[in-house]
C-alpha cells in the first residue's frame, strides 16, 4: 500500500510503501496520513493488509487472529469517528463472511473488496458534499478555512475545501483565507498547496489574524471540516475551530461545517462525550525537531476542540444540508 507522506509536504512529495498493518497504525499516529475521511479509508485498507498476512488453518482462527489488527488500527487516533467506523465495518464483514462459511482465502478477498468499497464511498461522498455546499458560496466571496480538508485529507474531492474548489469550478470568483493551523501547519503546508494547484486566489494568515479580518468585514463565510459530530450537532475539529466559530458569531459571519455522514456519531448525545486527542508536547515547543521554546517549558497539545452546535449555521453532508435544529436534521439524514 502506498501513502503520500503528508508530513513532508509541500517541500517533498515522498510515497511510503506500507507492508504491514502496524506500520500503517504508526503512520496514522504520526500523521503521515491524516484527515478524518482519509484515516478511515486507510484503516479499512489496514485491516485488509493485516488479514492478508495472517496464516490460519480455519476461518475461525483467522477471525481470532484478526482481533489484534482491529484493535491496533481502531485505536491509532481517538477523535475522528471515520477510523473506528471503517475498522468496525471491516470487522462486521469478516464476521458475516465466517457465518456465510467462506473459506480463509475467500474471507481475505472479501475484506480487500470491502476496503475498496469504503474508499469509493468516502470519495463519492466528498463530491456530493462539495456539490451541495457550493450552493452556499456566492461569487465574490472571501471564504476562511481552517486546517486541511481537501483531497489529501479525504482521498476524494474534499469536504470544506471541496466545497470551495467546486464553487471555483462553477466559475464563482472566490478568495480563500487559509488559517496556518498551529501547531502542525496543515493550513500553511497542505491547504495552500492544494488551493494553489486548483488555481484559486488565496491569502495565508496566522490563526490569530482571523478576528482581525472578520472584524473588518473581510470574511463572507467560514467553512471547516469535522472529525466527529455528536447527535446534537456539536462538532469536534482541529484545535482553533471553536475560536473561529465564536468570532464568526460575534461578527455575524455564517459558519459552515462540511463532513460526510461517516463523521457523525449519533451514539454521543453531545460534544462533551467526544474523546479529544492529546498529542506530544514537542509539537508545541518546536517544529520539525527545531526547538522554539526554552528547555523544560510546560506545554499543552489538545489536537481538537469542540464547537457547540449553537455557533454552527449549517452542516453540509453528502445527503444534503442540515439546517437547525440539528438534532432532528441529523436523525433525518442518518435515516
Other residues' Cβ atoms within 10 Å of the Cβ of residue 270: 14
Q: How is residue 136 written as a grid cell?
A: 452556499
20-49: contacts with ligand MRU (CB under 6 A) = 34-37
Binding map of ligand MRU across residues 54-83, x = CB under 6 A, - = no contact: --------------------------x---
Closer to ligand MRU by CB, 104 or 245: give it.
245
The answer to the question of residue 237 lying near ligand MRU (CB under 6 A) is yes
Q: Which of 149, 232, 235, 307 binds ligand MRU (CB under 6 A)?
A: 149
Q: Of 179, 207, 227, 265, which residue is the catalytic one? A: 227
Nearer to ligand MRU, 25 or 97 (CB): 25
How many of the other CB atoms lie within 10 Å of CB of 181?
23
- Determine if 176 is a binding residue for ligand MRU (CB under 6 A): no
| 128 lines the binding site for ligand MRU (CB under 6 A) | no
> Interface residues for ligand MRU in 281-310 (CB under 6 A)?
303
Question: Which lies closer to ligand MRU via its Cβ, residue 186 or residue 313?
Answer: 186
Closer residue to ligand MRU, CB minimum distance, 155 or 285 = 155
Cell of 213: 479580518
Q: Give the C-alpha separation, 38 to 76, whole Å.
A: 13
CA angle (180, 197, 31) in 5-degree steps: 50
Q: Please identify, among the stretches 83-91, 152-160, 267-275, 282-290, the one whose residues bind ligand MRU according to the rule CB under 6 A.
A: 152-160
**Total of residues contacting ligand MRU (CB under 6 A):** 17
By DSSP bridging, strand 286-287 and strand 290-291 are: antiparallel
SS3 state at 221: strand
**By CB under 6 A, is residue 133 in contact with ligand MRU?**
no
First to last CA, the chain: 34
Q: Exposed, middle or buried by CB within 10 Å (0-12, 13-18, 19+), for 5?
A: middle
Is 187 a binding residue for ligand MRU by CB under 6 A? The answer is no
Nearer to ligand MRU, 94 or 322 (CB): 322
Using DSSP, state whether 146 is helix, strand or coil.
coil
Pick from 51, 72, 155, 186: which binds ligand MRU (CB under 6 A)?
186
Give bridge partners of residue 229 from the DSSP assignment: 235, 264
Annotated active-site residue 207? The verdict is no
Nearer to ligand MRU, 97 or 226 (CB): 226
CB 164 within 8 A of CB 187: no
**Who's near 80: CB < 8 A, 6+ residues apart?**
36, 39, 40, 227, 228, 263
Site residues, ligand MRU (CB under 6 A): 34-37, 80, 147, 149, 153-154, 159, 186, 225-227, 237-238, 303
Which residues are the active-site residues?
Answer: 227
Amino acid at each position: 500500500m502506498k501513502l503520500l507522506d503528508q508530513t513532508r509536504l509541500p517541500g517533498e512529495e515522498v510515497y511510503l510503501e506500507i507492508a504491514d498493518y502496524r506500520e500503517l497504525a504508526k503512520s496514522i499516529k504520526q500523521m503521515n496520513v491524516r484527515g478524518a475521511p482519509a484515516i478511515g479509508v486507510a484503516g479499512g485498507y489496514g485491516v485488509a493488509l493485516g488479514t492478508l498476512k495472517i496464516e490460519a488453518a480455519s476461518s475461525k482462527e483467522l477471525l481470532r487472529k484478526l482481533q489484534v489488527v482491529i484493535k491496533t488500527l481502531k485505536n491509532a487516533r481517538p477523535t475522528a469517528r471515520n477510523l473506528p467506523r471503517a475498522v468496525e465495518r471491516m470487522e462486521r464483514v469478516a464476521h458475516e463472511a465466517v457465518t456465510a462459511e467462506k473459506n480463509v482465502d475467500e474471507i481475505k478477498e472479501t475484506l480487500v473488496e470491502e476496503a475498496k468499497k469504503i474508499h469509493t464511498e468516502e470519495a463519492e461522498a466528498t463530491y456530493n458534499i462539495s456539490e451541495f455546499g457550493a450552493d452556499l458560496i456566492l461569487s465574490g466571496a472571501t471564504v476562511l478555512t481552517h486546517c486541511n480538508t481537501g483531497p489529501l485529507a479525504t482521498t476524494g474531492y474534499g469536504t470544506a475545501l471541496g466545497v470551495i474548489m467546486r464553487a471555483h469550478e462553477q466559475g464563482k470568483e472566490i478568495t480563500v483565507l487559509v488559517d496556518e493551523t498551529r501547531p502542525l501547519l496543515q493550513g500553511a503546508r497542505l491547504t495552500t498547496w492544494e488551493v494553489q494547484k486548483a488555481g484559486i486566489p488565496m491569502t495565508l494568515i496566522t490563526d490569530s489574524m482571523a478576528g482581525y479580518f472578520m472584524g473588518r468585514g473581510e470574511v463572507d463565510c467560514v467553512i471547516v471540516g469535522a472529525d466527529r459530530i455528536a447527535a446534537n450537532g456539536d462538532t469536534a475539529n482541529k484545535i482553533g475551530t471553536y475560536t473561529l466559530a465564536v468570532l464568526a458569531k460575534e461578527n455575524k459571519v455564517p459558519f459552515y461545517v462540511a463532513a460526510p455522514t461517516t463523521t457523525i456519531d449519533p451514539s454521543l448525545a453531545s460534544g462533551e462525550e467526544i474523546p479529544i486527542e492529546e498529542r506530544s508536547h514537542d509539537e508545541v515547543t518546536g517544529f520539525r525537531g527545531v526547538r522554539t521554546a526554552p528547555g523544560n517549558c510546560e506545554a499543552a497539545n489538545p489536537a481538537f476542540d469542540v464547537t457547540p452546535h449553537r455557533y454552527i449555521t449549517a452542516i453540509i453532508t453528502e445527503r444534503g444540508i442540515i439546517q437547525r435544529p440539528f438534532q432532528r436534521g441529523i436523525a433525518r439524514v442518518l435515516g
